[in-house]
Amino acid sequence: MAETKILTPQQGSSSMASQFINQLGGAGVFAGGALGVKTPNDLYTEMLKSRAVLDRVIDRFDLTNSYKTKSREDVRSMLVKEMLSAKDDKKSGIITIGVEDKNPQKAADLANAFVEELKNVSQGLAVTEAAGRRLFFEEQLKDAKEALIKSEESLRGFQERTGAVKMDEQAKAVIEGMAQLRAQIAAKEVELKVMRTYSTASNPDLQKTEEALKGLKAELGKLEARGGGKHDTFMPAGRMPEIGTEYTRKIRDFKFNETLYGLLTQQFEAAKLDEARDSAIIQVIDKAIPPERRFKPKRTQMVMVAGISGFVISVFIAFFMEFIEKSSENPETRQRFETIKKYVKIK
C-alpha cells in the first residue's frame, strides 16, 4: 500500500480580512469570523470518496479500461471498497491516505493523484472561512453594483432633463456625510443579522456591535437635524431652486450606493486575499512513494498460519491414530467399531 500524509486547513488562525475589517470600525460588515466555516477532517475524508474526486482520478488514469470494466460505477465501487483508505489522526490532525494496487508505482501515483484532485475540488467549494466570506461579498457586491448603476443613471437623466443644478460645498458635504453614515448603518445591520445566527443576546461582541449601531444612528440624527430635517430636505429654504429637493434625493441615493459599494468592494478584496493565501488549503506532508514491501498478500503471515495449522492438524492426527491403535487392542471397543462400520457401510 502506498501512503501519503496531508494536513488540512487550520481554521483557528486569524485572517487578513479579519484584521482589515476590525480597522474599518463602524464600516465593517463582519466582525472577524462571522461566517466562520468549521471543516473537520471528516469532511475531507468523505470528499475523497465523492464522485467528483473519483471521476477525476478515473479519467486521469483511464481506470475503466485499465481494470477492464465497462461500468464507471464499478470502478468507483472498487476504489472506495477495495483500494482507497483514509485515516484521521485526531491528535495531530493529519490524514493518511492509502491506495492498494498490484503495481507499487501505480499505487503511489494514485495516492498522490487523490490528493491533487481533492485540492482541485475543494478549491471550488466554500470549505474555508475566506471562501465563505468571498462568496457572500460577491453576491452582495452584485446587488450593490446594480443599485449604484441605477442611481447613477437616474441622477444623470434628471440633470439632462432639468439642467445642471449646482450645489454649494456645505450642502454637498452634508449630503455626502449622511450618505456615508447610512451606508455604514446598512452594513452594520447586516453584520448584526449574521451575528445573531450564532450568538446569544448576552454575547459581548454582539452587544458591542449593537452599541456601535446606536452610535451611528445617533450621529446620523444629529447630521440630519443640522442639515434642516430628518427626511429629504437637507438645506434651508431658498438655498436651492424648486427642483433642488428631488435633486437632493437622487444625489443622496447615488452617494449612499457609491459608499456602500466601496465598503463591500474593500471587504470582498480582503476575502480574496485570504482565499489566495489559503489556495493551497491542503498541505502534503509525505508524498506517496512506491511501497518496498507487499501489503497483500502477506506471505509471512500466510506461512506462519499455514505452519501453525499444519502442526495442530498433525498433532490431532497423531493422537487420533494412537487412539485407534489402542482401541483396536480392546475387544469390546473393537466390537463397537465393527458395529459402527456395519451401520455406516464403511468398507
Same domain, 8 and 124: yes
Q: In what order do the strands lie in the sheet with 84-88?
A: 84-88, 94-99, 2-7, 283-286
Q: How far is CA 324 from the centre of its chain?
A: 72
Do 46 and 76 lie in one domain? The reply is yes
139 within some domain: no
Residue 195 lies in a domain: yes
Q: Rounded to an integer, what is the distance from CA 79 to the centroid of its chain?
A: 24
Same domain, 254 and 179: yes
Q: How many domains does the chain have?
A: 3
Residues 245 and 173 in one domain: yes
pLDDT tens digits for 186-235?
Answer: 877 866 765 676 567 888 888 888 998 899 888 888 877 765 544 443 44
Please give the Cα distance from 7 to 94 (Å, whole number): 5
User: Quick one: 121 and 183 in the same domain?
Assistant: no
The verdict on residue 150 lying in a domain is no
pLDDT at 211: 92
User: What angle, rounded to 10 degrees, do the helices at 16-24 and 244-277 form?
Assistant: 150
Mean pLDDT value across residues 105-112: 94
Indicate the pTM of the whole model.
0.48
**Is there a domain that residue 137 lies in?**
no
- Across the chain, mean pLDDT equals 75
pLDDT tens for residues 17-56?
A: 444 444 343 333 333 343 333 445 888 888 899 999 999 9
> Is residue 34 in some structural domain?
yes
In the prediction, which pLDDT does 27 show? 38
Same-domain status, 6 and 96:
yes
Helices 104-123 and 51-61: crossing angle in degrees, nearest 10, is 130
Q: Which domain holds residue 263?
A: 160-277
Last residue of a domain, one of 261, 286, 311: 286
Cis peptide bond upstream of 331, omega within 30: no
pLDDT digits (tens, 9 = 90+) for 242-255: 556 777 778 778 88
CA–CA gap between residue 148 and residue 141 (Å, rounded): 10
Whether 138 maps to a domain, the answer reads no
Show the cell assigned to 326.
489402542
pLDDT at 116: 93
Are 336 and 247 part of one and the same domain? Answer: no
Is 91 part of a structural domain of the chain?
A: yes
Q: Is residue 121 part of a domain?
A: yes
Report yes or no: 39 and 282 within 8 Å, Cβ to Cβ: no
Instruction: Give the percent of the chain with pLDDT over 70.
Output: 64
- Do residues 121 and 6 both lie within one domain? yes
Cell of 347: 468398507
Are 24 and 75 spatial neighbours (Cβ–Cβ below 8 Å)?
A: no
Which H or E element spans position 345? none
Residues 11 and 115 in one domain: yes
Residues 102 and 25 in one domain: yes
| CA 155 and chain centroid, separation | 42
38 and 68 belong to one structural domain: yes
Q: Is 44 exposed, middle or buried (0-12, 13-18, 19+ CB in 10 A)?
A: buried
* Whether residue 268 sits in one domain with residue 200: yes
**Residue 44 belongs to what H/E stretch?**
helix 41-48
Tell whether the torsion through CA atoms of 177, 181, 183 and 184 is positive or negative. positive
